[in-house]
Chains A and B, each alone.
Chain A
Amino acid sequence: MSDAYRYRLMDEPLPSRFARFALPPTLVFIVATLFQPWGFVLLALNAIALNGPFRNREVLLSLAPIPLYFGALELLGRMVDAQLVTLSLGRYCFIAAIGIALVFGAFAYISEEKTFQLRRYLRQLRGYA
């Protein structure tokens, strides 16, 4: 019987046209943290390539740091201009905001890593593509 008609386990990634472009999530996450905030787009693209059971959630979590980054930059910039906070305090707050953004990225990364490991295991097991 073809695999398409067999009972599918919920956690297994679906075959994807972009599967061959999937990269190890650890590598992608390191790149994303080094090239903030646009590096997180790569994490979102990797989620699409992996096509795991939580793909849409992973894409949203990967992209969440981008508006957070620019939102914090804009808000803190205005607060510094209005002399509500000092530039030094603003920089500390900005790092905290990036930290919050990284939390979202980390959740996406962990979810992608699970899919990646499972995909590798299944490929070893039965030539999953």
Chain B
Amino acid sequence: MNIHYRALSRAEALMRAGNFASAIEPLRDVLTADPESAIAHDHLARCLLMQSRLTGAEHEARTAIALDPLAARYRLTLASVLNLQQHRRRALDEVGAAIELQPDNPDAHLARAKILRFKGDRGGSSASLGRALELAPGDEEVIAEVGHAALERGDMAMVESAARSVLSLNPENVEGLVLMGRVKLARRDPDEALQLALAALSRTPTDLDALSLLASIKMTKNWFGGLWWRWNRLLIRLGETRAIFLVVGIWVIYRWAELATENAGLPDLFGTLLTGLYLLFVVYTISANVIVTRMVQKEIAQVRLNPKF
């Protein structure tokens, strides 16, 4: 067995165990020895994707496609990256190419359903999900997506049913745990939801949905951080460009209001009040960010101390 193969096997074992961060170094070893290994580039893209390192993930996924343009799987990895970068149309193009290569690949239809759901096209998402269910009726990921779609519609009974189905197939499925956590949180049972979030994180410590659930739970008990959390979620949903325009827009409105009070000859008190409010907003945004991050990190540190981690 050569070193290249051993490193690749080790990386794959780590990825299966949900330890994507540790799989990066063995994959780097594989690519140092063989820079043209398409599968290693694809694995690396998936590991970077799990760490939200989207620039690196996109580069690796594109390299994998360049090396093997006929592999549908690599196109799906790229589609996942593009989806998280909010380039939905390009992500759909990649999924379309994957479906052309493998029309009966349930993963491709599932990816299409996810992207369309993020895009807000419920009808299209439902049709693609239906096709994925036809092709792979017992697949954990497909059933979990049924739960995610129901969660977006606010149909908690369906979310619970999907989560139960997933967990009956695999009690350690991260998506199933997170979905069940969402159900518990919606039913005002934060303690149970917290246990589920921590169980998901002990399986995959970098899972974004699990981290998001954990933060949501912590924020239900904290109005100071809760407000910031909702604001932050709004900015994330808007995407980088729109979020920048929104924040700069708020600044411009603040300065215009300041100028208007001056032009209208209003007492200085109004201007001072506006400046005070603006500074309060700035200080709050920065301090709440630090506080929420510390709270979540403290909780994750507890997960790490757990002997099951």
Contact = CB atoms under 8 A, between A and B. Distances in A.
B259 A107 contact: no
B270 interface: no
Interface string B18-60: 0000001000110110010000000010001000010110011
Interface in A25-61: 26, 30, 53
Contact of A95 (B28, B59, B60, B252): B252
Contact of A7 (B31, B240, B244): B31
Given A1-B32, A6-B32, A95-B252, A53 B55 contact: yes
A64 interface: no
B32 A118 contact: no
B28 A99 contact: no
Contact of A12 (B56, B240, B251): B56
B32 A5 contact: yes
A83 interface: no
A110 B55 CA distance: 13
B89 to A, nearest CB: 21
A17 to B, nearest CB: 24
B263 interface: yes
Interface string A81-118: 00000001001100110110011001100100010001
B255 A10 contact: no
A38 B104 CA distance: 58
A11 interface: yes
A30 B29 CA distance: 40
B209 to A, nearest CB: 20
B256 interface: yes
Interface residues of B, number: 27
Interface in A1-30: 1, 5-7, 9-12, 26, 30
Contact of A88 (B31, B56, B263): B263
A11 B263 contact: no
Mostly helix, strand, loop or mixed at chain B's interface? helix
Given A106-B248, A118-B53, A7 B256 contact: no
Contacts of B55: 10-11, 53, 114
B48 A110 contact: no
A11 B252 contact: no
Contacts of B28: 6-7, 9
Interface residues of A, number: 25
Nearest to B30: A7
Contacts of A1: 32
A102 B48 contact: no
A95 B256 contact: yes
Contacts of A30: 282
B247 interface: yes
Given A91-B259, A107-B244, A99 B251 contact: yes
A9 B51 CA distance: 13
Contacts of A99: 248-249, 251-252, 255
B5 interface: no
Contact of A110 (B29, B240, B248, B256): B240
Contacts of A106: 244, 247-248
8 contacts: A9-B28, A9-B48, A9-B56, A11-B53, A53-B55, A95-B255, A96-B252, A99-B249
Given A53-B55, A102-B251, A110-B244, 19 more contacts: A5-B32, A6-B28, A7-B32, A9-B24, A9-B53, A9-B56, A10-B55, A11-B55, A11-B56, A88-B259, A91-B259, A92-B256, A99-B252, A99-B255, A102-B248, A103-B245, A106-B244, A106-B248, A110-B240
